[in-house]
Structure 1
Amino acid sequence: MTRLQRLIRLSAVALTAVALSGCISLFPKSKPAQLYQFAYTAPTEASDATVSRSVGVLKLSSSFVKAAAGDRIMTVTGASDVAYIAEARWASPASVLFEEAVNGAFDRENSAVRLISRGEIGQSNHILKLDVTDFEVVYTSPKARPQVLVTVHATLTRSGDRTVAAERTFTERVQAGEDRQGAIVGAFNAATSQVLSDLVAWTASSTADR
């Protein structure tokens, strides 16, 4: 290969590299998603009195509406227009954060119910099953101020004969202060906390002396 041929070949390689670098720079740069989380926060009116934890309840894994179970924040506009908030994610899947919030609610110092694991099944009087059927941001119209909707159906079954002792659906709607991600997450926290506060009180009442 002559010197001229080598120079021509090197020039072609250099031009190809420049062309490729130009192509790479044309790819859009995605903006990193902001991560959020929700957790149980005891309502201000909750009692601080300490009670005896005498009732053991075995909690099964919760079912969670599939469209909202992951790390994306689901919105519903009107009757059926479903979408997800852009550039916003839960720090963990919503179903995982919800389970942590449930544990936090029952771990309160004044809770009369103690959640137990499957390894302690012999000590449980009741079995609790939760079905999360709504966990979403609701817009009645595209420009309306959003509401957060959380709905949980709870079923208590007696451990001995597996008959249903009680069941109830808990629903909470909390309007966000504004149509911003932070305000919406705050509404999720408030709605979840209220539902779980009501759930704990109902579980204690439904299992007392039964």
Structure 2
Amino acid sequence: MIRHLPVHAPHRARFALPLIAALALAGCLSIGDRAELAVYAPTVVLAVAEDTPRLERTLAIAEPSASNALDTTRIAVRPAPGRLQVYAGAIWSDTAPALVQAALVDALGGSGRFQAVVRPTDGVATDLLLRLDLRQFEAVYAEGAQHPTVIVDLHATLVDPRGRRVAASRRFRAEQPAVDEALDDVVPAFEAALGEIASTLLPWVLEHGTDTAP
């Protein structure tokens, strides 16, 4: 379900400044400026089969590392190859890395397949640490396309936080087409892509989480 604070009619594909300029502008927004924006907070619902095994471990999911272009609240879009811009009049409720972390903590935690799923900053002793590198989190227009495809691309490393031994490492990538160019139709594609990432990440962590010492 999308949670957002709309202040205009549904957003069509209005692109703002090139991303570098938009990042500089985002750091200068006042409270009054932010009131003119629609704020989107994507959520993820993860369906888990009843026969999915349970791992009696506590998993910590770190906030992903990301480039400056992604570590922002602006919603990235590529209207053409080599052009990275942002949607006008709208932002995420948090930076993209923080959104991805929150979505995965909620999804994997809600799966009921771990003793607990937390953030490293929660101050809880953990058995597993999931480190993430967010490489793409954007809507992309293919050549000649009328509607964008959302791409979420990240690299995951599962680590034993005590000995810092790497249990497994893998790249996860999801592509979900939007049904229209309006941002209200693009955000559900972000949710679907995050859900696809979570659904493939869960069994992978369950499989390789047993490779760390209990």
The correspondence for 1:183, drawn from 182, 185, 188, is 185
Contact 1:51 1:110 in 2 (8 A): no
The correspondence for 2:175, drawn from 173, 176, 190, is 173
The correspondence for 2:114, drawn from 106, 112, 115, is 112
Match of 1:33 in 2: 37
Q: Distance in 1 between matches of 2:57 and 2:152?
A: 27
Q: Distance in 2 between matches of 1:103 and 1:65?
A: 21
Structure 1's consecutive aligned runs of 4 or more residues displaced over 6 angstroms after TM superposition are: none
Contact 2:46 2:111 in 1 (8 A): no
Contact 1:149 1:171 in 2 (8 A): yes
Q: Between Structure 1 and Structure 2, whose CA radius of gyration is higher?
A: 1
The correspondence for 2:202, drawn from 200, 203, 209, is 200
SS in 2 for 1:208: helix
Contact 1:75 1:84 in 2 (8 A): yes
- RMSD (CA atoms): 2.6
Q: Distance in 1 between matches of 2:111 and 2:128?
A: 20
Change (3 A) 1:170 1:50: closer
Q: Distance in 2 between matches of 1:195 and 1:120?
A: 25
SS in 1 for 2:110: coil
1:43-192 to 2 correspondences below 5 Å? 43=47, 46-48=48-50, 52-112=54-114, 114-116=116-118, 117=120, 119-121=123-125, 124-141=126-143, 143-192=145-194
- Report the residue type matching 2:36 in the other structure: P
Q: Distance in 1 between matches of 2:208 and 2:52?
A: 19
Q: Distance in 1 between matches of 2:151 and 2:54?
A: 33
Contact 1:78 1:139 in 2 (8 A): yes
Query: What is the total number of aligned residue pairs between the two structures?
Result: 178
Contact 1:77 1:142 in 2 (8 A): no
Shift of 1:127: 2.1
Shift of 1:107: 1.3
- Report the residue type matching 1:97 in the other structure: L
Q: Distance in 1 between matches of 2:204 and 2:192?
A: 18
Point out the structure with the larger strand share: 2
Task: Provide TM-score, normalisation by structure 2.
Answer: 0.73
Task: Provide TM-score, normalisation by structure 1.
Answer: 0.74
Contact 2:53 2:206 in 1 (8 A): no
Change (3 A) 1:50 1:207: closer
- Report the residue type matching 1:172 in the other structure: A
Q: Distance in 2 between matches of 1:34 and 1:168?
A: 34
Q: What residue ranges of structure 1 are gaps of 5+ in the alignment?
A: 1-29
Contact 2:54 2:206 in 1 (8 A): no
Shift of 1:66: 2.3
Point out the structure with the larger helix share: 1
Q: Distance in 2 between matches of 1:136 and 1:33?
A: 19
Q: Distance in 2 between matches of 1:54 and 1:143?
A: 46
